[in-house]
Amino acid sequence: MNIHANDGISQSGVDALTQAGFTITTTNVAQEQLVDYINENNIVGLLVRSATTARKELIDACPGLKLIGRGGVGMDNIDVAYAREKGLHVINTPAASSASVAELVFAHLFGAVRFLYDANRNMPLDGETKFKALKKAYAGGIELRGKTLGIIGFGRIGQATAKIALGLGMDVAAYDPFMKEATVAVDFFNGQSVDIAIKTRSFDEVLAQSDFITLHVPAQDKPTIGAAELSKMKKGAGLINAARGGVVDEKALAEALDSEHLAFAALDTFVNEPTPAIKLLMHPKISLTPHIGAATKEAQDRIGTELAQQISELLG
């Protein structure tokens, strides 16, 4: 049986599928040509990440398709309910990239509290001639230890983020409408582990009490954080979105940064991917990455092997 990974798959995933008797192709096919490619090559399983969509039209036009897999967590680029209604298996890898996304959150957070996002822009331009001025400009950094990290959405990725925060000596203020309490295991290099129980707080409590807030929620019909929510955050707080574009009102965010109500923001996802708003890209108080939360070798290996295992169980 033929499996096509249109947005790529790790070599470990290719190897696992091949060993299970599947033929795997990884050629990136343009969205408008994908239906023809699937039908002409008798593809039974389509694997995507965030770039390729699998909507009703594609599902209807590809009667030989038996499975659609998303290499990652969110499946907002797939018409999941319709696909399942038509008898297709729809799978994803909800746990595989949690640690990678959590580490990216802290890459942004460490960089933001020491102004690295701005220093890395200005040092190549002015480091030789304005070194002392830049040193003074970036002299007001802060430490993360003892600060409160607000986590909105306390599923796998939210809890993975909490593990790092707890290890750094931060307080964790978590909000999740479906959870009252969770036990987070903070693991150490030598195999030891400490279990810490975290009771979730109300949404408004997290907004008001947090020094920094990070979002880990699915795609929403309207922003989770808009102007009203931003106004409830601490003055001088920071906001990180490594979840989905649209969960933060980008216009309201820019205004909160311009008014200095927020000290900084960090964005890995955007409303208009792959063409984010230029105002965000040029904003001096925003740390930017191009939707790379799950883009580590380790995460992609886990995603590939987890997809292969599920495909073997469902189609083997």
Tell me, what CATH number does 167's domain have? 3.40.50.720
Tokens of residue 216, six digits: 């880990």
Domain with 189 in it? 98-288
Residues 27 and 131 in one domain: no
39-89 tens-digit pLDDT: 999 999 999 998 899 999 999 999 999 999 999 888 999 999 999 999 999
Query: Are residues 82 and 124 both part of a single domain?
Result: no
Task: Examine the domain organization and report whether 264 and 155 are in the same domain.
Answer: yes
d(CA 224, CA 246): 8
Q: Examine the domain organization and report whether 269 and 134 are in the same domain.
A: yes
Q: Report the domain count for the chain.
A: 2
Q: Can you say whether residue 222 is alpha, beta or left, with left for phi > 0 and alpha for psi between -120 and 50 degrees?
A: beta
114 and 241, same domain (yes or no): yes
Q: Do 225 and 265 fall into the same domain?
A: yes
Residue 188 has pLDDT above 90, yes or no: yes
> What pLDDT sits at residue 94?
87
pTM of the model: 0.90
Residue 237 and residue 118 in one domain: yes
Are 139 and 61 in the same domain?
no
The DSSP H or E segment spanning 100 is helix 98-113
Q: What is the pLDDT of residues 124-149, one digit of tens each?
A: 999 999 999 999 999 999 999 999 99
Assess whether the previous peptide bond of 276 is cis (omega < 30° from 0): no
Residue 150 and residue 69 in one domain:
no
Annotated active-site residue in 49, 70, 216, 244: 244
Distance CA 140, CA 158 (A): 29
Catalytic residue, candidates 70, 201, 291, 302: 291
Cis (ω within 30 of 0) for the bond into 284? Answer: no
Q: Does the annotation mark 70 as catalytic?
A: no
Q: Determine the Cα–Cα distance for residues 282 and 277; give it in Å rounded to an integer.
A: 9
- Whether residue 127 sits in one domain with residue 53: no
Task: Report pLDDT digits (tens) over 153-187.
Answer: 999 999 999 999 999 999 999 999 999 999 999 99
Amino acid code (one letter) for 307: L
pLDDT at 65: 98
What residues contact residue 211 under an 8 Å CB cut-off, 6+ apart? 147, 148, 149, 234, 237, 238
Q: Is 273 a catalytic residue?
A: yes
Q: Is the pLDDT of residue 265 over 90?
A: yes
107 and 159 inside one domain: yes
The verdict on whether 261 is a catalytic residue reads no
